[in-house]
Amino acid sequence: DTGVSQDPRHKITKRGQNVTFRCDPISEHNRLYWYRQTLGQGPEFLTYFQNEAQLEKSRLLSDRFSAERPKGSFSTLEIQRTEQGDSAMYLCASSYSVPGGRNTGELFFGEGSRLTVL
C-alpha cells in the first residue's frame, strides 16, 4: 500500500467548467476527509466520510461542490461551474476509527490535487 493517492495531481481548467478529483485512501481506513489549502494557509476542512456515509460538510462547501464515497473505498470531489476562487490544493486524508473508540488524530494525507481555474 503506497498510502493515500490522489488523481489528478494537477488540473488547469477554464472558469465555468466542471472538475472531478479522486482519492484512494489507505485500504483499511474507514474515515476519509477532504481539505482545501490555499497559498499561505493551513488545510481547511471541507467534508468527511465514515465508510460511505458523508457525516459532515463545512460551510466552505458550497452547492457547487459535491463529494461521494459510493462503496466506502475511494472518494470523488466534484466542483461544478468552477470559479477562480476555487483555485487551491485539494487534499484528501484518511484514518482508521475504532468503532466506539477515540480517534488517534493521525490523518494520513495524500499529495493533493492542485486546481488552477483560469
Binding site residues, other proteins, CB under 8 A:
3-4, 31, 33, 40-45, 48, 50, 55-56, 91, 93, 95, 97, 102-112
Considering only CA atoms, which of 92, 114, 115 is closest in space to residue 31?
Answer: 92
| Distance of closest approach, residue 118 Cβ to other proteins, in angstroms | 26
Separation between Cα atoms, residue 108 and residue 31, nearest integer Å? 10
| Distance of closest approach, residue 53 Cβ to other proteins, in angstroms | 12
Tell me whether residue 13 or residue 50 sits nearer to other proteins (CB atom): 50
CA distances from 74 to 15, 63, 77, 89, 101 (A): 27, 21, 10, 18, 23
Tell me whether residue 32 or residue 117 sits nearer to other proteins (CB atom): 32
Separation between Cα atoms, residue 113 and residue 104, nearest integer Å? 25
| Distance of closest approach, residue 31 Cβ to other proteins, in angstroms | 7
Tell me whether residue 14 or residue 40 sits nearer to other proteins (CB atom): 40
